[in-house]
Chains A and B, each alone.
Chain A
Amino acid sequence: GQQVMQIPQYQHVQEGEDFTTYCNSSTTLSNIQWYKQRPGGHPVFLIQLVKSGEVKKQKRLTFQFGEAKKNSSLHITATQTTDVGTYFCAGVIQGAQKLVFGQGTRLTINP
């Protein structure tokens, strides 16, 4: 069954509002990655988090990895229309050699 859950499934915001998507795993993760997929496009790697409690920033994007390495979040400050797309988390389950993707959060923005 699905081992990496992501919420919400959809999020619609006004341009300039903040956005957050959450990722939870039933098992401890070795690391977690985040990808963005534009409508009609393919997933593009954003970042990888490895350490417990790690926080990384990329301009308006803030990524966190939980202390127990079972959850993660992506926060976008002051969204812009270019942020539209689906954001996926993908975890490497400890002991497994593959990425398990969350279902994704589809972000739409009202300009």
Chain B
Amino acid sequence: NAGVMQNPRHLVRRRGQEARLRCSPMKGHSHVYWYRQLPEEGLKFMVYLQKENIIDESGMPKERFSAEFPKEGPSILRIQQVVRGDSAAYFCASSPPENWGSYNEQFFGPGTRLTVL
């Protein structure tokens, strides 16, 4: 059973370009979460998605950032018109479709390290 996969592992973009980060959850997992981690800092929740639905996007910046988890294919985190402050590690995590009364661990992918020049 493959773990959570993210690609690319490293992404370099110039200011103003678009960044697309992909996440394939573990097999059987229907919940996907995106986090951002700045150097020497903790993980900041961005968005929680289930298939074709955004459940909680309270951590997403209002502009330039969007996320989706289509019926088929990976979850995508899209950053438009990147700025230097977007440079960070972006982690995706997945969990199985349990209800919150029996909340389970989140399985993290290896992350995408985004560098904006």
Contact = CB atoms under 8 A, between A and B. Distances in A.
Given A43-B91, A100-B45, A101-B42, A92 B108 contact: no
Interface string B5-39: 00000000000000000000000000001010000
Contact of A48 (B56, B103, B109, B111): B103
B41 A103 contact: yes
Interface in B65-114: 91, 93, 100, 103-111
Interface residues of B, number: 24
Nearest to A9: B40
A111 B105 CA distance: 32
Contacts of A88: 42-43
B64 to A, nearest CB: 22
Nearest to B105: A45
Nearest to A105: B42
A78 interface: no
A68 interface: no
Contacts of A48: 103-105
A102 B103 CA distance: 18
B55 interface: yes
Given A88-B42, A104-B42, A99 B106 contact: yes
Contacts of B104: 48
25 contacts: A30-B100, A35-B108, A41-B110, A42-B91, A42-B108, A42-B110, A43-B91, A45-B107, A88-B42, A88-B43, A90-B43, A92-B100, A92-B103, A97-B56, A97-B100, A98-B45, A98-B48, A98-B56, A98-B58, A99-B33, A99-B45, A101-B45, A103-B41, A103-B42, A104-B41
Given A31-B103, A98-B45, A101-B44, 7 more contacts: A30-B103, A43-B108, A97-B100, A101-B42, A101-B43, A104-B41, A106-B40
Interface of A: 6, 30-31, 33, 35, 41-45, 48, 88, 90, 92, 97-104, 106
